[in-house]
Structure 1
Amino acid sequence: MCRRASQADPLNPGDFLPLTNGKVTGAGLILIDMLSSTTRQTTDAGFRRRFHQRSLEHQRSLSAITMAFAVVAYLSFVATRSFVEGPAIGLQHRFACGLCLALLAMAMPRVKTTWVFGAISVAFTLMLQVGIGLNVIGLTSPLLWTLPAMVMVVMGAAPLWLTPTHFLIGTVVFYATGLPVMLDIHPTHDGAHLVCWMWIAISFSSAAVFHGCFYWFRRNHFLLEDRLVQLAATDPLTGLQNRRAFKEGAEKLLSTASDDAKFSAIFVDIDYFKSLNDRFGHALGDQMLHEVAQLLKAHTSVDNNVSRIGGEEFALLQRGGLRSAVGFAETLRIAISGIARPDGALTASFGVAEYRVGEGFMSLLDRADEALLRAKHSGRNRVCAERAVSADAARLKPLESPASDAHPGGESPCEPVRQPWDDHYLSSHFQPLYSLSHQKQVGFEALLRGERDDGSLIPPAILFAPKPFTSENDLDRVSHALHLANAARVIPGDAWVFLNILPASFVAEGYADQLADVARSVGLSPGRVVLELLESHGGSVDALSRAATQYREHGFLIAVDDFGAGHSNLDRLFQIRPDLVKLDGELIRATSPGAQQPILPKLVSLLHQAGMLVVVEGVETTDELILAVESNVDFAQGYLLGRPAATITPPEPVNRRIDHAFDVIAEGRTHQHALFESELHPYRLALDLAAQAYSGGVPLEDAFAPLATLELCISCFILDESGRQVGLEVNGMASMKAGDSLQPVANPRDARWDHRPYFRNAVLRPGVTVTSSPYLSLASGRPCIAVTIAVPTEHGRCVVGVELDWSLDRLPWPASD
Structure 2
Amino acid sequence: MSRVKALIHQDLPDQAEIALNDGRSLLRHYVPFVRAGVIQGALWQMQDITTIKEQQSRLEYLTERDPLTGLLNRRGFDRRLKLIERHALGQAGFTLALIDLDDFKRINDTLGHAAGDAVLVEVASRLKNLVRLSDMPARIGGDEFAILMPECRTEQQAVLVGERLLRAMDAPIRVEDAELHIHFSVGLALQRAGDDRQGALFQRADLALYEAKSTGRRQFRLFSPRLQHRHDELHLQREMLRAGLEHGRLLLHYQPVVTLDPEQGRFTARTFEALLRLHDAQGTLRRAEEFETALADPQLGMEVDRHVLGTAMRQMQEWKRQGLPLRLAVNVSPHHVAHPDFVPTVKEQLAAHPDVAPQNLTLEITEHGQLLDLRVVKATIGELRQLGLRIGLDDFGTGNASLSHLQQFDVSVVKIDRSFVRELLNDGVDLSISYGVLRLAQTLGVSAIAEGVETRAQCRALCLLGFRNLQGYVFAHPMPAEQVAAWLEHSAEQLSWMRPLASRHVLDTERAVQALVAHRMLVRKLLSNALERSEVQDLQAPDAAECCDLGRWLTQESRHWGPVPQFRRLMDTHGDFHRQIVVALANADPAADLNLNACSARVHAAFWDWVLHDPELQIDGEARHERLDTTGPR
Q: TM-score, normalised by structure 1?
A: 0.40
Greater relative contact order (CA < 8 Å, ≥ 6 in sequence):
2
- Report the structure number with the largest CA radius of gyration: 1
**TM-score under structure 2 length normalisation:** 0.50
